[in-house]
Amino acid sequence: MPFQFVVLLSSLVLAAVFAVGGKYLYSQESSEFELELSASRTTLFNVYALQREALLQHMQVLAYSIATNVDSVNLMSAAVDDMRNSAMRGDNTARVQRLHDMFKTQLAQQWDTLTTQYNVLHMQYLLPDGTTFLRMDAPTNFGDVPLSIRPMLADVIKNHQVRSGFEIGRTYAGTRGIAPIMRTDADGQKNCIGIVEVGIRLDKQLDRLSRFFGSGYAVLLNSSSVTGVMQEKYTPTEKIGDRFLLSSSGPEAAEWLKAGKIIIDEAAPREEAQDFLLNWTDRVSKKEHQYQVITFPLHDYRSRIRPEYPPPGTMLLWRDVTEQVQQLHNARVRSIGTAVVVWLLAQALLLVAFYVPRKEWRAHLRRRAAIIKQLSNRNALLLKATEDGICGVDRDGNISFVNRAALMMTGFGIEELIGKNVHSVLHHHLPHGGGEYAAEYCPLMQTLSDGKARNSEEWYFRRDGSTFPVKVSATSVIENDVITGALIVFHDITEQRNRQEALLQLATTDSLTGASNRRHFFDQLEAELSRQRRHGGLASLLMTDLDFFKLVNDKYGHAAGDAVLSHFVRIVRQTVRRSDVIGRLGGEEFAILLPGDGTSGGRELAERLRRTFEENPTTIGGRTIPCTVSIGISDLRTDDMTADKPLLRADIALYSAKEAGRNCTVLFDPSSTDSTAVNQAIRQSEWKSDPATASTPPAASTLLNSVKPS
């Protein structure tokens, strides 16, 4: 190989290596930026969640403190008693109005304190049945019963427990606390005499969060959740598209919504936050800024306790990441510049290196090739692994990490799996309604116990409770001769299972009629004979043959004949039980196995089947194709060592039905059977489970009990 070519090739390889290295550094900067965004998203979401729970607790305490206040109890007690007495005297309307005015006057100072010190926007008192008695924020609106749109209020009325949550009402949408007002009567019994409800301003809470964390917050309500619930004069004033802007800590949310910049994934998991980067030019400074925008569902009281109900809105969070984006850009430029400078130095060293002994040059080249090959192998392994679900667990089986493929297969969010026991989440019960799956039988838990690698096929549970088959391998992680955890790799084998079931179906059923094919029917018959020999019991066998079926094919065509066969099988399935087995033995000949049913029941079913088939002819292309069936009946006996004997007895009965004029059922009568003649017929027929090669059974009309149709 020419020296110049070697130099050129080496230079190109070196350039490629540094290009890969530069790309790696470039991607590392991007990965670190993505990690920072992810950490920020998680932090902001968790902080909001903690603040939300703290607010709910605060609202419960506030509502409870008002409900247990002596003034509230005395006022509500007097109001309820007075209203009851007024109703008895017939002057209810005037008395109620006076009570309402008195109540409002005495609570005015309390209402002023709540609005100024606690940012309360809404407070109302209700009668024990949920009828509105007094709304302090809308005193003229009372007397309604909003239970149909207020599930939290309905629950408080039902069990008299303090509750809190976000709800949309007729006059107010926000976080509420509801508590019953209880009175102890003279007999010591506690009775609910009323209900107090308080609602807090969301904008104040959002402003505090925004100032403390330097982020923006906004609450969006779906139009479908507001329309028909809130009275029109109380709905949020700003509606953009199909959403109402309930509250916002800054003007950005409204501007982005109007510009169509907000992306909300309606199909996202209920508790998963979504984020994206948004470029926006500030109207005042005219400078372009980059924002990290985070969205997640806004749950109300009903959607929190009942997952089948959708959230009524969306929480919107954002923070300015212009500086971080600029830092990312600078870091990328530095990475590329560093890679170029180092490559130039390396290229110079490479040219110098060609003057060292050739042996040294070759060794250096081999080391380079090994590094590249190792990097290639690792990349290939990583790509292969990411196609499967990967899950790491600690010594106790608690999940420590999980990849995206596993999350997609199971439907769980990452926060729902981290720290949870993998067996309790994914493997806790047997599939298809089976019982609890004990942990000691779980292959993963066994691997954690003894350190042995295992491969098995299992059923895993998805988040929605459905199951899917997986092929899973579990490998222990051993450090310093101690098992510290395990690695689980699994993939969905649903398609493989479906193919296997389809092949089994193809191997055991007749493709035209859907009945069991000849081989499968004989397997079922042999199994039933074995069961009878072990446990005894009753069973019977029907042999059927469609009368003059050749004439159907000749007159109407083979397609019509196939339709008649399929129609017959459908009628059989409608007549027999699920445990009975129908098999097509050949042509128009079918056999029906009736486990647990003797000849009496078999005879009754056969006659019902014969009449039904006769009275319901096949219809195809507007034409009616009449056809009848002849049926022979025999029992199964404990001394039947093979399927040949019961099949022959039923076939003899069928032959007699044909001789008797067809369209009838014939029962093989053992009491009048000449056993010598039957045994001779068995030997002569040499039944091979193949009627094409078997000889015609002898006439046995004198040995059989025939039943003709009425």
State yes or no: pLDDT of 540 exceeds 90. yes
Domain boundary among 200, 223, 249: 200
Instruction: Tell whether 624 and 697 lie within a shared domain.
Output: yes
Decide if 606 contacts 666 (C-beta within 8 A). Answer: no
Q: Given pLDDT bands bounded at 50, 70 and 90, which one contains residue 365?
A: low
588 included as an active-site residue: yes
Residue 366 resides in a domain: yes
Measure the CA–CA gap between 29 and 70, rounded to whole angstroms.
63
CA separation for the pair 593, 540 (Å, rounded) = 6
Instruction: Label residue 502 by pLDDT band (50, 70, 90).
Output: low
Task: Say which CATH number the domain at 620 has.
Answer: 3.30.70.270
What is each CA distance from 122 to 211, 224, 250, 583, in whole angstroms? 25, 23, 23, 74
Q: What is the mean pLDDT of the chain?
A: 81
Residue 492's SS3 state is strand
Work out the average pLDDT over 54-62. 89
Specify whether 194 is located in the same domain as 278.
no
Region of poorest pLDDT, from 182-191, 305-314, 492-501, 699-708: 699-708
Q: Among 497, 519, 537, give the residue marking a domain's end.
A: 497
Per-residue pLDDT, averaged over 121-149, amounts to 81
Average pLDDT of span 465-494: 87
Looking at 29, 167, 416, 588, which residue is catalytic? Answer: 588
Instruction: Name which residue leads in pLDDT, 649 or 21.
Output: 649
The CA–CA distances, whole Å, from 590 to 383, 582, 585, 586, 651 equal: 55, 7, 5, 7, 11
Q: What is the pLDDT of residues 81-102, one digit of tens each?
A: 776 666 544 455 666 677 777 7
**pLDDT tens profile 31-41:** 888 888 888 88
- Residues 612 and 554 reside in one and the same domain: yes
CA distance 665 to 201: 83
Contact of 220 with 243, CB cutoff 8 Å: yes
Separation between Cα atoms, residue 17 and residue 7, nearest integer Å: 15
Which phi and psi angles does 386 have, rounded to 5°? -70, -10
Residues 584 and 665 both lie in one domain = yes
Looking at the structure, do residues 145 and 24 belong to the same domain, yes or no? no
The enclosing domain of 294 has a CATH number of 3.30.450
CA distance 332 to 692: 82
The answer to whether residues 616 and 666 belong to one domain is yes
Higher pLDDT among residues 367 and 128, named by residue = 128
Residues 83 and 98: their CA atoms lie apart, in Å, by: 10
pLDDT in tens, 247-260: 888 888 888 888 88
Phi, psi of 482, deg, nearest 5 = -125, 135
Same domain, 540 and 665: yes
365, 359 contact by CB (below 8 A): no
CA separation for the pair 628, 611 (Å, rounded): 9
Looking at the fold, whether 404 and 478 belong to one and the same domain comes out as yes
Q: Do 212 and 348 reside in the same domain of the chain?
A: no
Boundary (domain end) residue, out of 171, 200, 229: 200
pLDDT digits (tens, 9 = 90+) for 417-447: 999 998 888 888 888 777 888 888 888 888 8
pLDDT > 90: percent of the chain: 21
Count of other CB atoms within 10 angstroms of residue 399: 22
Task: Tokens for 261, please give them.
Answer: 């910049």
Q: Are residues 684 and 537 in the same domain?
A: yes
In a domain, 283, yes or no: yes
Could you say which DSSP state residue 579 is in?
T
Q: What percent of the chain has pLDDT over 70?
A: 86
What is the structure's pLDDT at 362? 67
Looking at the structure, tell me whether residues 543 and 593 fall in a common domain.
yes
Average pLDDT of the residues in 130-135: 84
348 vs 96, residue with greater confidence: 348
pLDDT at 710: 32
For tokens 């939300």, the residue is 52
pLDDT digits (tens, 9 = 90+) for 568-624: 999 999 999 988 999 999 889 999 999 988 888 999 999 999 999 999 999 988 899
Q: What integer pLDDT is reported at residue 438 of this predicted model?
A: 84
Q: Residue 379 — pLDDT band, cuts 50, 70, 90?
A: very low
Residue 58 domain flag: no
C-alpha–C-alpha distance, residues 402 and 691, integer Å:
61
Distance CA 460, CA 426 (A): 5
Q: What is the pLDDT at residue 353? A: 64
- Contact (Cβ atoms closer than 8 angstroms) between residue 136 and residue 123: yes
**Residue that the structure tokens 């039923």 belong to:** 650
Least confident of 182-186, 544-548, 653-657: 182-186
Q: At residue 417, what is the residue type? A: L
Give the pLDDT of residue 680: 42
| pLDDT digit string, tens, across residues 660-672 | 999 999 999 665 4
Please check whether residue 504 lies inside any domain of the structure: no
461 lies in some domain: yes
Domain limits at 266? 204-320
What pLDDT score was predicted for residue 631? 95
